[in-house]
Copies of this chain bind each other. A is one copy, B any other.
Amino acid sequence: MAGVNKVILLGRLGSDPEVRNLPSGGKVVTFSIATSENYNNKNGEKVEQTEWHRIELWEGLANIAEQYLKKGDMAYVEGRIRTEKWTDKEGIERNTVKIRGNALQLVGGRGAGNDGATESSSTYSGNSGGGYAPKSAPIPMPPPAEMAGSGSDDLPF
């Protein structure tokens, strides 16, 4: 429980949320949201650079995302960075960086696609402002142990 690891994102979903039901009965929902920045490169040309953020939501937030979010929607997500190490089928070590969300705010549909409906707006929270699960959290936070193949951590030097 040391330090602060907080991410705040506001962007659009690149695809519908993917739902995964766990043997344990839990639920995980994942999707990507895009943020972008524009700048002029050294040749003076306009460049738009898009960053894709892989979001992972558990339990309550997973349910909400499953029900209310779809491709093209804009969402506010608060969470923490989580790197998962794994080995691909070629035996190559790889890292996946995800945002484990602990708060979600829907900020409106895709415009086209929600045919005139006003955008919605509701915040839902998992636990943990700083993204740190209290040791025995009354608000349940999926134990990382369930996070299949995730875990581990080590020094980058």
Q: CB < 8 Å: which of B39, B42, B154 contacts A134?
A: B39
B130 adjacent to A134 (CB under 8 Å): no
Q: List 27 A-B contacts (CB under 8 A).
A: A2-B35, A3-B121, A4-B8, A4-B105, A4-B123, A5-B11, A5-B37, A6-B8, A6-B9, A39-B133, A40-B148, A40-B149, A40-B150, A41-B150, A42-B149, A47-B145, A49-B151, A53-B81, A79-B129, A82-B144, A84-B151, A86-B149, A95-B154, A103-B129, A108-B108, A111-B116, A134-B150
Name the interface residues of A27-54: CB closer than 8 Å to any CB of B. 28, 30, 32-44, 46-47, 49-54
A14 adjacent to B144 (CB under 8 Å): no
Residue in chain B with minimal CB distance to A93: B154
Query: In the complex, which residues of chain B have a beta carbon less than 8 angstroms from the beta carbon of A28?
Result: 142, 153
Count the copies. Answer: 4
Q: CB < 8 Å: which of B81, B119, B125, B146 contacts A129?
A: B125
A137 adjacent to B142 (CB under 8 Å): yes
Q: CB < 8 Å: which of B52, B124, B127, B147 contacts A140?
A: B127
Number of interface residues of A (CB under 8 A): 115
Q: In angstroms, how far is the closest chain B Cβ from the Cβ of A13?
A: 11
* A97 touching B127 in the complex, CB below 8 Å, given contacts A38-B147, A42-B146, A142-B137: no
